[in-house]
Structure 1
C-alpha cells in the first residue's frame, strides 16, 4: 500500500530526542516508525518500534524493507541513534573503542542513508535529518572521539545535500547542546584510563552534572526537527537550544582566542 500521510523513520527512538521527535511528528500528522535494537521489546510507544542495529548491514536492510512493505514509501529519515564516551582524554580510549563510536555515530548514518536514498530518488522527494551536536561545530576537550564522530556527520551531511538536492531530496543537521535525556547515563566508560587524568576527569564530571541541571528538554530539539522537516527551503544546519545558539554565534563571529578561552573557562581547565 502507499500512504497519503508522509512517512517518517527515526533511529534510536525508544527514548530521549528520538522519542520526543517521534511524538512531535505524530502530532503534526506524520506516520512515524521508530527503531531500537530491541524493537517492540523496548516497550509500548505511541508509534511502532522496528528492531534495528545501525552497525549491522543486514539489520538496516531488513528494517527499511519492513517499513517499505508496510507503507510503500519513506519521506523522512531521522538519523538519531548514537552514543558517547564519558569525559576522558583522547588517549584513554582504545582504537577498538574509537571504531565502535564511529561505527554507530557516523557509519550508522551512512548505512541508513544508503538504504533509504534509492527509494527517495525513485519517488523524487525526501528529507534526511541527521542529529549531530554543537560539538560537531565547536569541539570540546575530553570528548574528542564523540566530537570527531559528529564532525564526520557534519561533513558528510553537507556533501550529501549537494549531491541529492537536484533529486528532490534535502539533508539537514540538528545541533543540540546539553539535553536532558539518558544519553549521558549510557555513555561508554573509557577503556584505557590513566591516573594522570583522574583529577581532571573527576572535575569534568561535576561540570557536566551542573550543566545537565540547566539542559534543554528533548522536546526543544523535537520542535527544531519538525521545523527542518516542514521547511520549504530547509537550511543545512539548525541549532537547538540557547547554549547551542550561543556557541554557534561565538564560532562564527568571535576571535578564535576568545572562543578558546571561553571553552577552557567553562570547563575550569585552568583553575
Structure 2
C-alpha cells in the first residue's frame, strides 16, 4: 500500500502543527510549511519554507514536494491570520487586502498550484480550514468572517467541479480553539474612539470564552476524518461547540440567533 503524501500549510504551531502531527501518526508522509523555519524543534514531519502570498514561493514548495515524493495526495490549506476584535471600519483597505491575500487568496494559490498534478493522477483531496464564522458571522470580526465565508463558497463550487477527476474539496469548521493564533492577533490599524468601549468589552468576552476552549487536537482529528472518508461531506464541524452552532444556524429562527449573539457579546 502506497504511503499517502500530505502538504499542510501553516504547520509551525497551533492547528496546523497538530494536524500535521495527527496525519503523520496516521501513516501519512507529511510536509508542513511556514514562512520561516526555526531550527531545533523535533517534529514527526518535515518542514519547508512557504509564503502563501507569493506565487513564486507556492510554486517552489509544490515543486519541492513533487520532486521528492512524485505526488501530493492531500493538501490542507490551514495558513491564515486574524485581527483582534475591532469594528469593520477600524481596518484600513490595505489591512483588509492583506487579510484576504493570506486567508483566501493564499488558499486559491495553493489549490491552483496543486490541481494540475491531482488532475493528472485522477485523485486527490483538498481540505480548507474554515471556521464557524464562515456560517455564523461575529460582530467585531467582520473581515476574518468574510474570508471564511469566501472559503466556504469557493470550496463547495470547487468540489462540484473536481469530482470528475476523483478530487474532493472539503471545509473543516472549528469554533474557538486555544492556540498561539489567538495570542498573536493583528491589531486593527485604523482604530476609532467611537468603538473603544465595545471593542474592549468584546475582547474581554472572547478572552473569557477562550479559557475553556478546546485545543487544536480536536480540529486535527476532524481533518483526519475528512481526509480518510471514502465519501467526504462538504463540511465538517470540529468540536462540540462548532457542532451546536451549526445546528443552531440551521434550525433556529434568525431573530433568536441574532438576540443570542448580541447577548453573549454584551452588545446593547
Query: Is the TM value for this pair above 0.5?
Result: yes
Question: Which of 224, 234, 239 is 1:236 aligned to?
Answer: 234
Unpaired segments ≥5 residues, structure 1: none
* Distance in 1 separating the partners of 2:53 and 2:80: 10
* Distance in 2 separating the partners of 1:250 and 1:72: 44
Name the structure 2 match of 1:9: 7
Q: Do the aligned partners of 1:40 and 1:49 also contact (CA within 8 Å) in 2? A: no
Unpaired segments ≥5 residues, structure 2: none
* Distance in 2 separating the partners of 1:210 and 1:137: 22
* Distance in 2 separating the partners of 1:244 and 1:124: 33
Name the structure 1 match of 2:156: 158
Equivalent residue of 2:79, what SS?
coil
Number of matched residues? 268
**1:30 Cα deviation from its structure 2 partner:** 0.5
Match runs of 1:1-271 below 5 Å: 4-39=2-37, 41=39, 43-270=41-268
**1:194 Cα deviation from its structure 2 partner:** 0.4
Equivalent residue of 1:85, what SS?
coil
**1:41 Cα deviation from its structure 2 partner:** 4.1
* Distance in 2 separating the partners of 1:160 and 1:186: 31
* Distance in 2 separating the partners of 1:27 and 1:49: 16
Q: Do the aligned partners of 1:14 and 1:42 also contact (CA within 8 Å) in 2? A: no
Give the root-mean-square deviation of aligned CA atoms. Answer: 1.1
Q: Do the aligned partners of 1:36 and 1:42 also contact (CA within 8 Å) in 2? A: no
